Structure 1
């Protein structure tokens, strides 16, 4: 910072930390999560990070754990933002991807779930813009982040770290959301998720699998023992899990659509999505005063349907535009 503020004609080379140094600083906060690699030879390798749930951090003695961790990560992000602004070419694309992965994983600490992440969000936007081989690195980044956790809540939180304010962040939000939906539903290798013109049709096929009854069968076979239907407590827990998962999936589906510029030739695909949403989700949600979580999900489905209908209203077929112009 002294180098930035000093007025001089001499060529001042500012110091920027390496990936190894950033990793060591993150470890100095007290993380014991195996998902974060131990300090070692540079460069950082994404293969060292295995899928895990939220990191766990050691307790701080002087201040509450959440406040200490929030302040520390905020300072790290502010300094890295300064480095990325002052010397945008310091980090290679591989280093930028590794840095985003490291910070995104650190942000999943349960102690940070209710705290704002403004500094991290601003840094992530800047790091995205500094990637040289874009969109060539988009696929690698999406694949890496989609494996950062096994829980849909964490994966949705990662998507929401990237603000919908730049072209690159919109691309990442849309592609990452679609990839996460396919992974959670076990269809990651069965659909053309990377073909831009086929993404809405892929989402339509995935939306048909988001029916609560289908999710109940899927989760029941994966997590519950045989005969769980006769256990009221297990059945109630599964009911909440199904609603929770469907809420995350529908939120991600909304991100996929809202981040795209719907062309007139894609209007039919968006109409089909609206039909799928109403047919497979809205009509299958059972509301009752004893199950307000389902009411919340139905509200989300209704809001999503309205947003998609608004997009349809602004995306008229080309023939209608031509006829209106000709009439004038």
Structure 2
């Protein structure tokens, strides 16, 4: 432990690594460099992580190399958390934001086999608490994190790096989810994303763009199949991608609502959300025995609708309650 402390005159202070040193350590463990751009998930890229491949073959234990990698990454996260706890004011807000972005990108990096999630979450929560200019840095942080990947699957995973356990992480989850939805739908420049009181109204407008047919037009930008025989396969693949994208966006929409402190005067906005969900998503999903991805999306839409209806019933204005004795 003596090596963790450096002498400065008569005082001893804890050594904390700088951003280049952290980046070099992660790179030495297999992280991609220099762009730190995460790969698409295995379902789309066709690349199956070693752990998933071994489990599918009946092996229940990691190889020694994989175990050593997990331990090393866990130690890095835990040591950085210790540094953040021991010297909360030693790092500037700018460096804190850069470190959070770096660790989020590392958490999505398949070269690191997805960091030990619990250790990464604890580190990010502590870094978030150390930001001095809060919530002044919220917009800058959300903007940077929303650019960590171009794939909705990765962006959803990134939001889940911040559990809903503190007021700051709760606000970041909700705001980041809204920004990610807007970015995926190319609406980040047209909507008032940073007005906290307008988030439900903004989400309502975004829900109207999440209709599967609209998402199909958004995704179907590539060339048509060269021969007619390939068109059914291409249509099935597009349908799967549309449902996959809609599932991620709807999950993020649920995060936005769950992170709101709903008040009675927002009852109308929440009611509009329920109507938009039913009108633009639920009624446009046709289930089929050959397309279980539609069933999963339909199930998520139903669960989301039920949760929002429960919020509606809790915050319903007194005048809106139906009473069978009212006319007696």
TM superposition score normalised by structure 1: 0.83
Q: Which residue of 1 aligns with 2:94?
A: 94
Can you list the C-alpha shifts for 1:50-106, whole angstroms capped at 9, x where unaligned?
A: x654699xx9xx956644433222110000011111111121111111111111101
Say whether 1:264 aligns with 2:264.
yes
CA contact (8 A) 2:174 2:259 kept: yes
Q: Which residue of 1 aligns with 2:134?
A: 134
Say whether 1:190 aligns with 2:197.
no
Q: Which residue of 2 aligns with 1:223?
A: 222
Q: Which residue of 1 aligns with 2:71?
A: 71
Q: Which residue of 2 aligns with 1:212?
A: 212
Q: Secondary structure at the match of 1:13?
A: strand
Alpha-carbon shift at residue 186 of structure 1 (Å): 1.0
Q: Which residue of 2 aligns with 1:124?
A: 124
Farther off after superposition, 307-316 or 90-99: 307-316
Change (3 A) 1:112 1:267: farther
Q: Which residue of 2 aligns with 1:304?
A: 304
Measure, in 2, the Cα distance between the counterparts of 1:165 and 1:184: 26
Measure, in 1, the Cα distance between the counterparts of 2:245 and 2:313: 30
Can you list the C-alpha shifts for 1:244-294, whole angstroms capped at 9, x where unaligned?
A: 000000000000000010111111000000000011111110101111110
Measure, in 1, the Cα distance between the counterparts of 2:297 and 2:191: 26
Measure, in 1, the Cα distance between the counterparts of 2:216 and 2:113: 27
Change (3 A) 1:18 1:314: same
Change (3 A) 1:66 1:184: farther
Farther off after superposition, 113-122 or 86-95: 113-122
Q: Secondary structure at the match of 2:286?
A: coil
Q: Which residue of 1 aligns with 2:81?
A: 81
Q: Which runs of 5+ in 2 are unaligned?
A: 42-46, 51-61, 322-328
Change (3 A) 1:232 1:301: same
Measure, in 1, the Cα distance between the counterparts of 2:113 and 2:296: 20
Q: Which residue of 2 aligns with 1:144?
A: 144
Aligned length: 298
Q: Secondary structure at the match of 1:210?
A: coil
Alpha-carbon shift at residue 310 of structure 1 (Å): 1.4
Alpha-carbon shift at residue 33 of structure 1 (Å): 3.1
Q: Secondary structure at the match of 2:278?
A: helix
Can you list the C-alpha shifts for 1:217-241, whole angstroms capped at 9, x where unaligned?
A: 1111x23437798711111110100
TM superposition score normalised by structure 2: 0.83
CA contact (8 A) 2:162 2:169 kept: yes
Q: Which runs of 5+ in 1 are unaligned?
A: 37-50, 322-328
CA contact (8 A) 1:219 1:242 kept: yes
Alignment RMSD, CA only? 2.7
Change (3 A) 1:69 1:290: same
